[in-house]
Structure 1
Amino acid sequence: MMPTYNRRILLRGGLALGCGLATEPLLDPACASEVKTSQVEASGFFTLGKRGDHWWLITPDGKPFFTMGLNHIDPASLRYPENLDIWREKYGGSTLRWIQESVAPNLKAWGFNTVGWVQEVTVPKWQHSRAFTVDEYRALDMPYCHLLPFTESHQWEKHTVHYDFRSEDWKEWVDYVARSHCAELAEERNLIGYFYSDCPTWTHDRPDNKWRGPIFDPERLETEAGRRELSELATSYYKTTHDAIRRYDKHHLLLGDRYEANAPIAMEVVNAAKPFIDVLSFQDFRNPIKHLDEWHKKTGIPVLLADAAGLGGRSNGDFKPNNGAWYSKTLSALHGNAGCIGFHLCGAYQRNKARRRGLLDEMEKPDAQHVDQMRAANERVTQKMAQMFQD
């Protein structure tokens, strides 16, 4: 049963899908279907819609949108001793200039239509770099998603204890995060929505953080009492985060945690999340085509491949290239998945000495072979969308 405290609205999700791309919701039931989202006021912002059985993002102007994003965009990658002169002389030491003169033009030239998530690896198994400021997002001037640091339970992070999601201290922290991030971003039309934790360890761990264990002991799921307790804990987490965001931002989509598709994901967690989020988001470096199809069919809600890459062999010493052929195949398959609203590549924009891969090297030279394959794949999807939704 849908909780009565979960404020939802009904949107005409078709929004001109296939019936002329009008900027107002259609009333013709043959062209639009009712879609529930967590948004209180969606007009003028990204939302969700359906044409037949296919989910799409809908732009603030009412057009169908399949997000093709690049993740991990950090100006510190251009501030090593060997390339610091580029930063100072070419961009005047200004992040805003770098975004306007390098990041945005390159992403658009490569066919990407979204920045999936800017934060980047700093050193291995450490916290990510900072997010963009609102002024930096405005300099970008293209759609983007933003991660809210509600919890530090990432599967790759080895330093932080788990938070107690029932505690008043954590609830106060959640409100602080929401008012410090969401209140500032609430009116931004280019913002698609908010992610929460990156690969949270709800019922799994990794060797480097085995000392803290998972958020919830998976052995307790063997009993009804344990399953009920996890449902209650996860419901508290998702209700608290949802309510805090909606105090400060009525408009944007809730993209939720970015689950690791190749680790155990308890249905108690997913079912607790569903009333309070709009999309199921995943990281998947093994079989995203299969897994996203399974999760959409299992839950009935739209899915997003929020972080993934196919990695080629080693080259140039320890640096590793992306795999443009893998990207092309994966993007095409996901665009054809009726439940998938997009794919964000685990780039990064420019390689650093921690992640060791990027579409640009440290001297701003592109990984030409793979970038060209990605550009062609992105352009095919863009052309296909134009053909599918002609005026």
Structure 2
Amino acid sequence: MKFIVPCAGLVLGLLSFRSTAADVADLAASSMPANIQLQQVQRTSQVERDAHGTPLQRYAFQPVGQPQIVITPAAGVSNWNGQGTLQIQVQNAMPWAVTLDVTIDGTAGQRLHAQIGLPAGPAQTLIIPLHATSSRAFGMQVGPPMPFDDHGHTVFVAGIVEGAIDLAQVHDIRLGMPAPQAVQELLLGKLETSRGDSAVQDAYRGIVDQWGQYTRGHWPEKIDSDAALRSAHAEEQKRLQTQLTERQGLDAYGGREDIPLTRTGWFHTQKANGRWWLVTPDGHAFFSLGLNTVTSHDTRTYVQGRESMFVNLPPDQSLWSAFYGSSDTRDAERAASAGLGANHGRWFDFYEANLYRVDGADWLAAWRKRTLDRLQAWGFNTIGNWSDKALTEQHRLAYTLSISIHGPFGNVSSGYDYWGRMPDPFDPRFAQAVEQSVAQDTAASGDDPWLLGYYADNELAWAGQGPQGRWGLAMGTLHGKAQSAAKQAFIAMLKKKYGAASKLAAAWGIALGDWSALDVANFPAPEPNAAYPAIADDYSAWLRRYADQYFGLVAAAIHRHDPHHLFLGGRFAVNTPEAVASCAKYCDVISFNIYADLPQHGVDLDAIHKLDKPMMITEFHFGSGDRGPFGKGVVSVWTEDQRGAAYARYVQAAASDPAIVGTHWFEYVDEPVTGRLLDGENSHTGLVGITDIPFNGFIDAVRKTNLSLRH
């Protein structure tokens, strides 16, 4: 059954809403008039038609705050019970993409809202699910590109719909544009609702082929047979051998022989002529050009409950069963996996299956040799975090390790809990966990001169979100329960400074009867403000103490268990000045994951220079949407060709700064089209695709940039 607003209504300015009914006859007989109101939108009188002969009306949205078309049932309300989607015939009449807001209003402020970027091109059917949804509901961070061809018809399914309404109480539909800078024209046809959401399911149906590639896209590296896959790899091997040049001017570890520094037998840091360097065990300057996640098994994707997304999925039997598995990565405290529709169960690894197709039973050994050859040929000198341990044991490249501190210790929310809440370093159980984790993770590497150093944890939530995000950890500490060790340490610090609770109350501008009032869970910690500067002063002091407690414990444990290797910091994603200063005090290198067009736009380098400490960029990348995976990464460019130029600008800008001693790209292999297990990430940011075929244009630019830094 359908609810229909005929195109003729758009022409005449009178629309017919049709309510749901038991059969077609009842549906036809139950039409009710509705009104259309144009707010800063102009309509032409001539009816136009698309390629299928569908009548369309042209509407010009004027350059004002929110021009919109409002469609209202004359009875004031319409019943859409049983309907699953709203469908609108629409064509973007401009030569560029335009933004269309579709809002469906219900009672008591209820509403559904979708914002769509309509590309230029032919008419299409825009489909809005009548319930909140997103690509995360389908198990991935970014959904398939829109529009797509559905049996000869162009269909655009809204990937994100927010809100909720009672479908029995629909008050209006609003089609608007947010603050257009010039007149924007759309051609609109009939509006109708449809039962079920089969059109939404169709948007995700059959999107991955047997090699793990996106079925609806086309790009130079895409293959269509096992023979083509093997042929592409054979051609790449020829290319690779010509790129493996002599290591002229470099020592055994990849250090620059033209810049001799102090020889210690271990990687260390040294400042010479106003510039910081990493120094190889042989005593030569070393700028770390690294690559993260150089592994064959980070490309698993859930298939359970999503079987319809895959075309010709290999059978879970015989040889292919080795590439199937099952896992459960759900974590209630990790925002990264919140709302994922596929977050546990049976998975398949397309990347490893493709490696088997190329090299047979010895695929893993062949992959390791090919990968090390590639990294050296492409000018990399460091194997970064989360990489295959066997690669590091071959001692062809320096490498880093990460110490993950786990245990039954307490935690604190800073408001940015993407990977989980902050560890509570004041909890005695944290010190025990540090000791155990460090002892375990350094045991096999303490005597290896190829090890660059250790990170501790990854992207901890040192700050919250929003304008007051700097203070998130301090406010979160006070929000905690009375038994929180961090909270009691903070209260003790405040007692020592103020003595009386009344003095703290006056300094902070809050009501505080006595010190016990701070013990209450969810204590309403005040936000810093100009009227009470003591709040910011006290929060800042606490943030520094918190960071000192964390970094001090970890640094002492690392140096106790492995006195030879560097402590490379905690890979900041969010940070505060207090946490960075503390890291500079206790760590040998400050590490940042900097996703920006240039390093200088992602971190306060002036502050780093004042701390007089070397820093390393431990994650960055540039993605595009034209090689299969739907996501474009944290920092995107328009096309694959632009990724190489972006890499060159970034790395050269980093190398030009006297404090920066390395850059590590994230990551080696593209993420699965349907999302990786951990959090559904599905971006094209790799040097190689899911078929292990390199993106040669990008590789050429990367290699040229990397090799230029040897001299």
- TM-score, normalised to structure 2's length? 0.42
8 Å CA contact retained: 2:630, 2:683? yes
Structure 2 residue corresponding to 1:369, chosen from 686, 691, 697: 697
Residue identity matched to 1:139: Q
- In the aligned structure 2, how far is the partner of 1:300 from the partner of 1:336? 16
Residue identity matched to 1:61: D
Aligned residues: 328
Which residue does the alignment assign to 1:187? 447
1:329 aligns to 2:649 (yes or no)? yes
State the percentage of identical aligned residues. 21
Q: What do the CA deviations read for 1:326-364 (whole angstroms, capped 9, x no partner)?
A: 111111121111111011111233543434321111111
Structure 1 residue corresponding to 2:428, chosen from 165, 168, 189: 168
Q: CA deviation at 1:243?
A: 1.1
Which residue does the alignment assign to 1:47? 268
Which residue does the alignment assign to 2:378? 110
Q: CA deviation at 1:22?
A: 5.7
1:268 aligns to 2:548 (yes or no)? no
Which residue does the alignment assign to 1:339? 659
Q: CA deviation at 1:18?
A: 9.9
**Aligned pair in 2 of structure 1 residues 348, 21: CA closer, same or farther (>3 Å)?**
closer
Which residue does the alignment assign to 1:146? 401
8 Å CA contact retained: 1:155, 1:200? no
Which residue does the alignment assign to 1:232? 545
Which residue does the alignment assign to 1:64? 285
Which residue does the alignment assign to 2:617? 305
Residue identity matched to 1:345: W
Query: Bigger radius of gyration, 1 or 2?
Result: 2
Residue identity matched to 2:383: V
Tell which deviates more after alignment, 241-250 or 294-303. Answer: 294-303
8 Å CA contact retained: 2:351, 2:692? no
**Aligned pair in 2 of structure 1 residues 324, 140: CA closer, same or farther (>3 Å)?**
farther
Q: What do the CA deviations read for 1:181-221 (whole angstroms, capped 9, x no partner)?
A: 11221111111111123222112259xxx9xx954338478
Q: How does 1:233-248 map to 2 (within 5 A)?
A: 233-248=546-561
- TM-score, normalised to structure 1's length? 0.74
8 Å CA contact retained: 2:404, 2:456? yes
In terms of fraction of residues, the more helix-rich structure is 1
- In the aligned structure 2, how far is the partner of 1:136 from the partner of 1:20? 28
Residue identity matched to 2:695: D
Which residue does the alignment assign to 2:475? 217
In terms of fraction of residues, the more strand-rich structure is 2
Residue identity matched to 1:98: W
Q: Secondary structure at the match of 2:610?
A: helix
8 Å CA contact retained: 2:629, 2:672? no
Q: How does 1:68-147 map to 2 (within 5 A)?
A: 68-76=289-297, 77=299, 79=323, 80=348, 82-88=350-356, 90=359, 92=361, 95=364, 97-99=366-368, 101-117=369-385, 119=386, 132-133=388-389, 135-139=390-394, 141-147=396-402
- In the aligned structure 1, how far is the partner of 2:687 from the partner of 2:256? 35
8 Å CA contact retained: 2:458, 2:572? yes
Q: What do the CA deviations read for 1:3-56 (whole angstroms, capped 9, x no partner)?
A: xxxxxxxxxxxxxx999766865xxxxxxxxxxxxxxxxx21101112210111
**Aligned pair in 2 of structure 1 residues 243, 272: CA closer, same or farther (>3 Å)?**
same
Residue identity matched to 2:429: D
8 Å CA contact retained: 2:289, 2:381? yes
8 Å CA contact retained: 1:171, 1:240? yes
Q: Secondary structure at the match of 2:624?
A: coil
Question: Is there any run of 5+ residues in structure 1 with no aligned partner, and where?
Answer: 1-16, 26-42, 120-130, 385-391
8 Å CA contact retained: 1:289, 1:330? no
Instruction: Compare relative contact order (CA 8 Å, sep 6+) and give the higher one, 1 or 2.
Output: 1
Which residue does the alignment assign to 2:672? 352
Structure 2 residue corresponding to 1:289, chosen from 586, 600, 608: 600
Q: Secondary structure at the match of 2:569?
A: strand
- Could you say what the CA RMSD is over the residues aligned between the two structures, in angstroms? 3.2
Q: CA deviation at 1:293?
A: 3.1
Which residue does the alignment assign to 1:14? none
**Aligned pair in 2 of structure 1 residues 376, 250: CA closer, same or farther (>3 Å)?**
same
8 Å CA contact retained: 1:103, 1:140? no
